[in-house]
Amino acid sequence: MPLHHHLFLEETKMAHRYPKPLLDTLYCLEDHIHWEEEEQVDYNEYSNTTTTNTNSSNVVLLEHDLFWDHEELPSLLAKEHQNQLSNTLLQNNLVLASSREEAVEWILKVNARYSFSTLTAVLAVNYLDRFLFSFRFQNDNNDNNNNNNPWLTQLSAVACLSLAAKFEETHVPLFIDLQLEESKYLFEAKTVKRMEILVLSTLGWKMILVTPLHS
C-alpha cells in the first residue's frame, strides 16, 4: 500500500471521528505520527507473509488474535454509540468549544512529552468530550453557570489524561508532573483526585473505547 494513500486513509478515519481542531493539532505531532506509521507498515508486512518471521517483526500477532467471531462487531458497534453525542454540544457553545480546543491541545502536548501512545490521547479526548457533554447536560437542567468556567475544562482535561494514562500506559507521572506543560492553571493533587472520581462516576466507569486502533 502506498504510504501517502495510507496516510490519507488515517486522516479520513480521524476526520470522521473528531472535529477539525483535533486534526489541526495533530499536524504538530508529525514525528510521532511518523513513528506510528512505521509500526503500521510492520503490521501490514506481517499480515502478508505466509510464514511467521518472528526475528524481524516487532509486531507479535498470534493467528487467533486476528480472527473475529460473530459477537465482536455488534459489541464494538454498541460501544461506538456512546461516543457520538459530543459534537452537537460544541456547535452550540463557542466559549466551551474554545476552552475545549485549548484543553485538547494541552492533552496532545503532554502526550507527546511523555511519549504516550496515540491511543492514550484518543482515550483522554473521548473522556473529556463525554464528560463535558454529560456535565453540561446536568447543569442545563440545574440552570446554573458552571458550564462556562474555563478552569473546569482544564481540570477535566488533567483528570481525563491521568485516567487515560492509568488505563493504557505502564508508567504514569504524578499529577504535578503531568501539569508541567504550561497552562493557565495548576491544580493540587487532591483536586485532580476528586475530579477523577467525578469523571468516572459521570461516565459510569465506562472507560473502554472503540477506536480505529482496535481494528
Which residues contact other proteins by CB under 8 A?
Answer: 39, 42-43, 52, 54-55, 58-65, 69, 71-72, 75, 79, 117, 119, 138-139, 142, 146, 149, 152, 159, 162-163, 166-167, 170, 172, 174-175, 189-198, 200-202, 204-208, 211, 213-214
- Three cell numbers written together for 96: 466551551
Q: How far is the CB of 64 from other proteins (least distance, A)?
A: 4
For other proteins, the closer of residues 107 and 172 by Cβ is 172
Q: What are the Cα distances from residue 211, in Å, to 2, 56, 92, 96?
A: 23, 27, 26, 25
Phi, psi of 115 (to 5 degrees): 55, 40
Q: Angle at the Cα of 119 (from 113 to 123), degrees rounded to 5?
A: 100
**CB 133 within 8 Å of CB 89:** yes
Closest CB to other proteins among residues 10, 196? 196
C-beta of 176: minimal distance to other proteins in Å? 9
Please name the amino acid found at residue 57: S
Q: How far is the CB of 133 from other proteins (least distance, A)?
A: 15
Nearer to other proteins, 4 or 171 (CB): 171
For other proteins, the closer CB: 21 or 191: 191
In whole angstroms, give the CA distance from residue 31 to residue 34: 5
Determine contact, residues 155/191, Cβ cutoff 8 Å.
yes
Cβ 54 to other proteins shortest distance, Å:
5
